[in-house]
């Protein structure tokens, strides 16, 4: 019996992987919407967009999201308004809580790495973003 337990121990240790932690530093930057998946399974792909989202994290608990328009010279035209959000970890998930004078909502971060971001909202809509790359002309 002891030999059997010793054989199962490595399987248990290596089989139970800890859920990967989300690095908030990966969230900061310029993000371009790539596709949207609706709750009924319908997906809409986005091509080139005239606006992208700029996200900046200030510390561990707050951040801003702002719409910007990329220009051909590599600069951006920015809007004057920005949405602030608070960051909360709940039940092993990372949530962004937004509040404006007009509305409040929550997004759950499903995935964020250097080149991709996926968020999910209360309407069961999944937004997939890719890291924005400046225009290049060769």
More reliable by pLDDT, 122 or 15: 122
Q: What CATH number is attached to the domain comprising 57?
A: 2.40.128.280
**Residue 12 within a domain:** no
Domain membership flag for residue 78: yes
Q: Is residue 1 in a domain?
A: no
**What's the number of domains the chain is made of?**
1
Question: What confidence tier does 59 reach under pLDDT thresholds 50, 70, 90?
Answer: confident
Q: Is residue 88 part of a domain?
A: yes
Q: Which domain holds residue 58?
A: 22-131
Q: pTM of the prediction?
A: 0.78
| 15 pLDDT above the threshold of 50 | no
Report pLDDT for 7.
Answer: 42
3-state secondary structure of 11: helix
CA atoms within 13 A on the CB side of 89: 7
């Amino acid at each position: 019996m002891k030999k059997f337990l010793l054989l199962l121990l490595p399987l248990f240790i290596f089989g139970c992987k800890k859920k990967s932690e989300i690095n908030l530093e990966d969230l900061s930057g310029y993000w371009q919407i790539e596709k949207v998946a609706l709750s009924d399974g319908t997906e809409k792909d986005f091509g080139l967009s005239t606006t992208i989202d700029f996200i900046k994290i200030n510390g561990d608990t707050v951040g801003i999201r702002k719409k910007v328009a990329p220009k051909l010279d590599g600069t951006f035209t920015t809007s004057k308004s920005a949405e602030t959000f608070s960051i909360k970890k709940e039940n092993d998930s990372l949530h962004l809580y937004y509040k404006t004078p007009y509305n409040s909502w929550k997004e759950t971060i499903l995935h964020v790495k250097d080149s991709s971001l996926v968020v999910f909202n209360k309407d069961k809509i999944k937004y997939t973003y890719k890291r924005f790359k400046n225009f290049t002309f060769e």
